[in-house]
Structure 1
Amino acid sequence: MATRQRADTVTRLIIVRHGNTFDAGDTPTRVGARTDLPLSSSGLAQAANLSAHFRDTNFLAAFCSPLQRTRQTARAILAARPHAPALLVLPFLTEIDYGPDENQPEDAVIARVGAPALAAWDNDAVPPPGWHVDPGALRAAWAGLLVRARALGPDATVLIVTSNGIARFLPDVVDAAPAGLDRKLKTGAWGCVEISGDRAAITEWNLRP
């Protein structure tokens, strides 16, 4: 099984970041909400690895963003299941808008906002000046999705495919998370939130098949 078994009953959310949109030799940029790139060759391979990893996981519900990189990743995972749920789009899962740094290489972003501002984003999810993101709204949306998932009942497993800028706000609305958790979810990586009663905890994070 892709997720570990426990004696008690829980609802599980499998949080996946989409696969790569750049390959070796490409110049990666800050790909946000306004840049709808498909998966690259290596990203398609990551999606295939995720599909193989979760082939025995019975997803009761599945959500992604409107962006094709998340839809491609989610569909690859669900394709391994003979009776997969319908893939539903949740707009809040769309990547953030990087404002003037949208689709810019990292050295240009650092030159504009400075390394301390990027460190605040990476460590504390504080957006640099000029980025279009509402942290409070994203945290509320994640909290609402936890409530929605809890209503599916015990032993339900939910697939959620999103982007790095959105996933990093999830740790703020759970009751527990691993010490030293890195907010940045790597491309093609996944984490798990387990909901038991009124308590939600991140039990795994930044794992790749």
Structure 2
Amino acid sequence: MSKLYLIRHGNTFSLGEKAVWVGRNEDLPLSPSGIAQAQKLKAAFDDRGIVIEKLLSSPLRRAVETAEKLAMEIEESPLLNEIDYGTWGGKSTEELRTLGYDLALERWEDYGQVPDEAGWGSTAEQLKVQIENARELFIRYLARYQTVVAVTSNGFLKCFARECLQEYQDLCLSKQLKVRTGHLCELQYAAETWKVVSWGIRSEEITR
């Protein structure tokens, strides 16, 4: 059965460096640890004999640099782009709490709910359309290839889970919706239904 691997790009901040929200408008490169994460992903695929037949990537630098460690031929697609966090971009979570966004942060972190009045550049409706188009892109390639890999960002992954996966509520309740940098998700698609094989796993946990 064909399998889709959704990968969150590697780290963009080094240990001890101030971490801030980076969205569609903050095009950061990978940090040294992020490059190491991408290399570990490549090694994990190779060790298991998994041949990446189709590799997709968000056009953001951090995603492309991750994808470049996995295979030579990359198709960049804006459908995999990160959310435009608007005024949140460049701010730390602590700074956002100081500005009174505690509830919006909780709903986004735990449930992937897009806040209505938080200054984001992406609306819930825009993201829904983006995810639906990305879903169709994945399905089209899964009909042609056994192994499809897509490198994207945490915001996209949360929205994809919310819009497409039956396991969404379980992921929320178990506090597993967020995918850490350099981690990935394994999905299968059959009978017009997505099945989560794993979500937010480390590279060494990849299965064939």
Normalised TM-score (structure 2): 0.85
Q: Is the 8 A contact 1:174 1:202 kept in 2?
A: no
Contact 2:57 2:74 in 1 (8 A): yes
Match of 1:6 in 2: none
Distance 2:154 2:168 in 1: 18
Q: Is the 8 A contact 1:15 1:190 kept in 2?
A: yes
1:35 deviation in Å?
A: 1.1
Q: What is the distance in 1 between the residues matched to 2:82 and 2:14? A: 20
Deviation at 1:146, TM superposition (A): 3.3
Aligned to 2:154: 164
Q: 1:207: Cα distance to partner?
A: 0.6
Residue identity over aligned pairs, in percent, reads: 30
Greater helix content = 2
Aligned to 1:62: 55
- Equivalent residue for 2:39, pick from 19, 27, 48: 48
Aligned residues: 192
* 1:21 to 2:8 alignment: no
1:138, CA displacement in angstroms? 2.9
**After alignment, is 27-36 or 194-203 more displaced?**
194-203
CA distance in structure 1 between the aligned counterparts of 2:198 and 2:179, rounded to whole angstroms? 11
SS at match of 2:82: coil
Q: Please give the TM-score of this superposition, normalised by the length of structure 1.
A: 0.85
Q: Per-residue deviation at 1:144?
A: 1.4
Paired amino acid for 2:93: E
Report the Cα offset of residue 178 of structure 1: 7.5
Amino acid at match of 1:138: Q
- 1:165-180 to structure 2, matched below 5 A, reads 165-177=155-167, 180=170
Whole-angstrom CA distance in 1 between matches of 2:70 and 2:170: 28
Stretches of structure 2 that go unaligned for 5 or more consecutive residues are 204-208
Tell me the CA shift for residue 72 of structure 1.
0.9
The answer to whether structure 1 residue 119 and structure 2 residue 106 are counterparts is yes
Could you tell which deviates more after superposition, 23-32 or 112-121? 112-121
What is the CA–CA distance in structure 2 between the aligned matches of 1:162 and 1:52, rounded to whole Å? 19
Relative distance call for 1:142 and 1:201 in structure 2 (3 A) is farther
